[in-house]
Amino acid sequence: MNKINKKELNKENILDHGVTLLMEQGYHGTGLQEILDAAKVPKGSFYNYFGSKENFGAEVIRHYIDPFITQLANHLQSTETDALGAIHCYFNVLIAALEQNQFNGGCLLGNLMGEIGDTSNICQESLQSAVSRYRDLLESGLAKAQQQGTIRSDKSARDMADLLMNTWQGALLRTKIEKSSMPVKQCCQDLLGDYFKP
């Protein structure tokens, strides 16, 4: 049991460092040795866990998106607010984190979509899976908001979830270059506070 736990902890440690390094330097800008040094693991251990840098990249993507999905799910399951309010609250938390980090990094998914989204099949599949899981959860929240009458029902929840994700990703890129939260705030206000309203 302890060996399994230690193995999982080691893997988590490598993935945590992977998220940090890929956010700071990108996939191509991060060497395998940097990952090994940061996580303090030998090369053999890395290959036992992941087999290749490409497989590692795919696992980092899954590791990165999981906390966001959990956080959004927790907001949507809260009984203290309606679904639209929960989505608003979730994005406000993300915006506050961006401001606290002085707009560095942005979103690892968006960064990797631009860098390796069309050059690595393994990472592309992992990115598609992450985006689908995230979009599906947003869609369920927006569908619930439709049932509660707080957003329009003449558009499908799926289409609105796609629009919100696409607009958010574009706004994140502008946030990075402008060092301002205004693009992401505008995204939320224009969609959640206006266009999605009945």
Which pTM does this prediction carry?
0.90
DSSP class of residue 155 equals: S
pLDDT bin (cut points 50, 70, 90) of residue 1 is very low
For the chain, domains (ranges, CATH) are 53-195 (1.10.357.10)
Res 171: pLDDT: 95
d(CA 162, CA 50): 31
First and final C-alpha spacing in the chain: 54
Residue given tokens 């191509």 in the structure block: 28
Nearest to 169 by CA among 153, 191, 150: 191
Question: Quick one: which of 7, 18, 144, 25 has its CA closest to 87?
Answer: 144
pLDDT, tens digit, for every residue of 65-89?
999 999 999 999 987 889 999 999 9
